Chains A and B, each alone.
Chain A
C-alpha cells in the first residue's frame, strides 16, 4: 500500500523566515509529486508540481525532489501570515489517484 508521510506539526515560523516542509513516500516507482495548500474549511489548492530530481522554483515557493531518498520538500521564502495553512504532499499513482499525507499545519508568527 502506497504511503506518504508528513510531520503533522504545528510548524511555527517567524514572518519573513524560510518555512521548510518535508514529505517521504513509500512507492519507489512514483513519478509525479504535488504540494497543495489547504486553508481551514476550504478545499486543497495546487501550489507546486514536480516530476524530476532537483529543485523547481515558482515565486516564493521551491519544491525539491530526491527520488533516490524518496523525499520531497517545499520551501517557502519570506513567509507571510497568509501562508498559515495546512500543506498537503501528494503522490500521483495514475489510476490509483493521488495519495496524500496527513498534512503539515504551518503557522507564520507576525
Chain B
C-alpha cells in the first residue's frame, strides 16, 4: 500500500517569494495535518484538515495557509518567505481527526530560503 506522498522533495526559494507544498494521504485516510521541523527540534503543528474543513491551527503567522481537496489531498502555502521558514515540512495523514488516531508522516519537503 502506498504511504503518504509529498512533493516536491526539495525546494530552494528566495526571501519574499511564495511556495506551495503538496501532500496525498494514505488511501482511506480523511485527515491531513501539516508540521514544520527545524534542525534539532521536534515537529511543530501548523494545521489540521478533515473533510476539507480546517479543524485546528498552530501558532504560525497568517502567511501560512492550507486547504484540503475533495480527494483528501492537501496543499500548504507560505507567502512572503523569510529565512526562518527554512525547515522540513511534514504532512501526516490519519483516518479521522480525533485525538486518538495515529498519524503517519510522509517523507517531507525540505525548504531552503535564501
Residues of A with Cβ closer than 8 Å to B? Answer: 4, 31-32, 34, 36, 42-46, 49, 51, 88, 90, 92-103
Residues of B with Cβ closer than 8 Å to A? Answer: 33, 35, 40-46, 48, 55-56, 58, 88, 90, 92, 97-108
Q: What's the Cα separation between A22 and B14 when bound, in Å? A: 40
Q: What's the Cα separation between A95 and B98 when bound, in Å? A: 7
Q: Is the CB of A99 within 8 A of B45?
A: yes
Q: Is the CB of B102 within 8 A of A43?
A: no
Q: Report B-chain residues with C-beta under 8 Å of the C-beta of A95.
A: 48, 55-56, 97
Give the residue of A46, A98, A99, A103 whose beta carbon is less than 8 angstroms from that of B33: A98
Q: Is the CB of B99 within 8 A of A103?
A: no
Q: What's the Cα separation between A34 and B33 when bound, in Å? A: 16
Q: Is the CB of B48 within 8 A of A97?
A: yes
Give the residue of B45, B55, B90, B100 whose beta carbon is less than 8 angstroms from that of A43: B90
Q: Report A-chain residues with C-beta under 8 Å of the C-beta of B101.
A: 92
Give the residue of B35, B41, B98 whose beta carbon is less than 8 angstroms from that of A97: B35
Q: How far is the CB of A39 from chain B (nearest CB, A)?
A: 12
Q: What's the Cα separation between A90 and B102 when bound, in Å? A: 11
Q: Is the CB of B56 within 8 A of A94?
A: yes
Q: Is the CB of A46 within 8 A of B40?
A: no
Contact sample, A vs B, 20 pairs, CB 8 Å cutoff: A31-B99, A34-B102, A42-B107, A43-B88, A44-B43, A46-B103, A88-B42, A88-B43, A92-B100, A92-B101, A96-B45, A96-B56, A97-B35, A97-B46, A98-B35, A99-B45, A100-B43, A102-B40, A102-B41, A102-B42
